[in-house]
């Protein structure tokens, strides 16, 4: 049976200040424009909207917290608290010393999403994993390898794989609070297409894209109905 896992990277608007090391000149220009209108297009209080809806629906969700901005709120059986580094920096581009500062497990959690999913560089594939293992992490959301700022990332639905003792649960798709109905429908079709797999469907989002709960509720109701029909099982990342 397919397992479904919802994760949310909680980072407010920090990424707009930092940009993305992979961006071309054109993308950096778009990023600057986007940053100028971020308070119009996005929602710095998106975490609260998202979290309260998850609580109301009692829907299993793994919240990946940027340590500089967030702390775990409360302990609930259906919520897993995970980490998204301290400053939201791309781990594979940092020195060992800086990686250790970024992933220091201040909340003593089991799960993590590396910023920009940059965790396995082809030149030294075990480096970040070994430091994560030192800090007690057991699970990460994984999207593929990197070669410096070049990425070989892709979506997939499969069983978790082990890298240096860390369970890698592959990212399957992303949705955002500001997505159109058409995009949400495509994600639902993709979930249906993969129901016959024995893997994990990891669907991820960002807190700051949610100005309301429309898309979140649409996904929750859809997945709950599939679970009620016995077609999938909803889990937290630690249970993958």
pLDDT at 28: 86
- The tens-digit pLDDT sequence of the chain (240 residues) is 999 999 999 999 998 888 899 888 888 888 888 888 888 899 999 999 999 999 999 999 999 999 999 999 999 999 999 999 999 999 999 999 999 999 999 999 999 999 999 999 999 999 999 999 999 999 999 999 999 999 999 999 999 999 999 999 999 999 999 999 999 999 999 999 999 999 999 999 999 999 999 999 999 999 999 999 999 999 999 999
Round to whole Å and give the CA distance between 208 and 173. Answer: 18
Neighbours of 180 (CB within 10 A): 9
Q: Model pTM?
A: 0.96
pLDDT at 18: 86
Question: Which range of residues forms the domain containing residue 233?
Answer: 2-239
**Residues counted in the chain:** 240
Number of structural domains in the chain: 1
pLDDT at 172: 98
pLDDT at 174: 98
What CATH number is given to the structural domain containing 115?
3.20.20.370
Alpha-carbon separation of residue 35 from 50, 160, 174, 237 (angstroms): 22, 35, 21, 31
List all residues 6 or more positions away from 233 whose beta carbon is below 8 Å from its beta carbon.
Answer: 1, 2, 3, 4, 227
């Amino acid at each position: 049976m397919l397992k479904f896992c919802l994760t949310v990277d909680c980072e407010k608007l920090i990424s707009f200040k930092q940009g993305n090391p992979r961006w071309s000149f054109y993308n950096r220009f778009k990023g600057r424009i986007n940053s100028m209108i971020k308070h119009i297009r996005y929602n710095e209080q998106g975490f609260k909207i998202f979290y309260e809806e998850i609580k109301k629906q009692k829907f299993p969700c793994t919240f990946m917290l940027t340590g500089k901005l967030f702390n775990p709120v409360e302990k609930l059986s259906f919520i897993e608290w995970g980490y998204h580094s301290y400053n939201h920096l791309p781990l594979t581009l940092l020195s060992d010393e800086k990686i250790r500062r970024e992933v220091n497990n201040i909340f003593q959690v089991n799960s993590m999403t590396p910023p920009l999913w940059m965790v396995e560089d082809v030149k030294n594939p075990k480096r970040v994993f070994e430091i994560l293992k030192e800090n007690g992490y057991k699970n990460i959301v994984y999207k593929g390898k990197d070669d410096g700022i070049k990425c070989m990332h892709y979506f997939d639905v499969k069983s978790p794989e082990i890298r240096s003792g860390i369970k890698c649960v592959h990212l399957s798709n992303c949705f955002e609070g500001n997505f159109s109905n058409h995009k949400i429908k495509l994600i639902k079709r993709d979930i249906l297409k993969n129901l016959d797999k024995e893997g994990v469907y990891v669907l991820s989002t960002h807190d700051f894209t949610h100005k309301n709960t429309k898309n979140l509720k649409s996904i929750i109701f859809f997945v709950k109905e599939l679970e009620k029909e016995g077609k999938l099982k909803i889990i937290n990342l630690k249970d993958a």
